[in-house]
Amino acid sequence: QVQLVESGGGLVQAGGSLRLSCAASGTIFSINAMDWYRQAPGKQRELVAYTTRGGSTNYADSVKGRFTISRDNAKNTVYLQMNSLKPEDTAVYYCYVMVGGTGYWGQGTQVTVSS
């Protein structure tokens, strides 16, 4: 079993920054992809960014140039550095981690960007 603990959400003004963290623990032999999703009220959950074990990354067009995903394989942790935040970034952010062939979701952390 794998547990994911997220932290780092909060309230910030437009133009500000936040850093999200997601730490995995439990029975972990190898973590493959580590992703960040978000879900705004009334909208579907969407992929924000992902990173592979080898360090490749990809981003949604809406966050390119503002968000940076990174991971520390030794700590089984993935981060999302969010800069130049906009009100439309307001959402619950979830990490998603593939351990072997099984996916696990974090509990979600609220990010609210005020204008």
Tokens 């062939």 map to which residue?
101
The per-residue pLDDT for 100 is: 84
List 39's β-bridge partners, or say none.
Answer: 92
- Say if residue 101's pLDDT is above 90: no
Three-class DSSP category at 45: coil
The per-residue pLDDT for 54 is: 87
Question: How is residue 29 annotated by DSSP?
Answer: S
Task: Quick: pLDDT tens for 29-69.
Answer: 788 899 999 999 999 999 999 999 888 999 999 999 999 99
Tell me what the pLDDT averaged over the chain comes to: 95
What percentage of the chain has pLDDT greater than the value 90? 87
Of the two residues 80 and 54, the one the predictor is more confident about is 80
Amino acid letter, 87? P
